[in-house]
Amino acid sequence: MKKISLIAISLVAVVIISGFSGCKNYGSQQSATGPQPPAGVEAQQSDSPRVTTHEVLIEDFQFVPATLTIKIGEAVHWTNKDNSPHKIILDDGSFESTSLTNNGISSANEIFKNEGTFTYYCSFHPSMKGTITVTK
Ligand SMILES: [Cu+2]
Cα(134) to centroid(ligand 1), Å: 23
Kindly report the pTM of this predicted structure.
0.63
Q: Are 88 and 108 in contact (CB under 8 A)?
A: yes
CA 7 from centroid of its chain's CA atoms: 29
Question: What is the distance between the alpha carbons of residues 88 and 103, in angstroms, rounded to a whole number?
Answer: 16
Which range scores top for mean pLDDT: 21-25, 46-50, 96-100, 102-106? 96-100
**37 contacts: CB under 8 Å, gap ≥ 6:** 44, 49, 50, 52
Total count of domains within the chain: 1
* Cα–Cα distance list, 112 to 11, 90, 122 (Å): 31, 11, 18
At 38-48, the pLDDT tens digits run 444 455 454 55
Residue from 88, 136, 81, 92 nearest 114 by CA: 136
64: CATH: 2.60.40.420
- On whether the CB atoms of residues 8 and 15 are closer than 8 A, the answer is no
Task: Tell whether the model's pLDDT for residue 59 goes beyond 80.
Answer: yes
Distance 92 CA to ligand 1 centre (A): 18
* Residues having C-beta closer than 5 Å to ion ligand 1: 86, 122, 124-125, 128
Distance from C-alpha of 52 to C-alpha of 70, rounded to nearest angstrom: 9
Residues 103 and 59 sit within 8 Å (Cβ to Cβ) = no
For 80-93, the pLDDT digits (tens) are 999 999 999 999 99
| Residue 131, strand partner residues | 67, 119
Q: Which domain holds residue 84?
A: 2-135
Q: Which of 127, 130, 133 is nearest to 108 (CA)?
A: 130
56 CA → ligand 1 middle, Å: 13
Calculate what percentage of the chain has a pLDDT beyond 90: 57
